[in-house]
Amino acid sequence: MSNEGIFFETWGLSQDPRFRTLKVSDIGVLTLKYKIGGKSESLKTPCRIAHIIANGIGIHINTGRLSTKDRKTIERILELETGDL
């Protein structure tokens, strides 16, 4: 994960029929789940598929549309390298 995107590595993804319908440049919404003080939280951001390979998907996230609070949350996750804040 970085400020620009996320790469999801998965085994067997290419065997999933839903994977076969995805195309580079498809647009969606990424839901990022994390915890603050043990309480589950989430944020949503627009995203676009940037890369597709046999074992994963690269997704570009548009953090420019996030609130300042949500951008700071992503920065904190990247700094700590954990979803447990």
* Series of mean pLDDT values for 10-residue runs along the chain (85 residues): 81 71 90 88 91 86 85 85 69
Residue 55: what pLDDT?
80
The pLDDT, as a whole number, for residue 48 is 94
Checking 44-49 for CB contacts under 8 A at 24+ apart, the result is 45/70, 47/5, 49/22, 49/23, 49/24, 49/25
Which pLDDT score is estimated for 59? 92
Task: Answer yes or no: pTM beyond 0.75.
Answer: no
- Which residue type is seen at 1? M
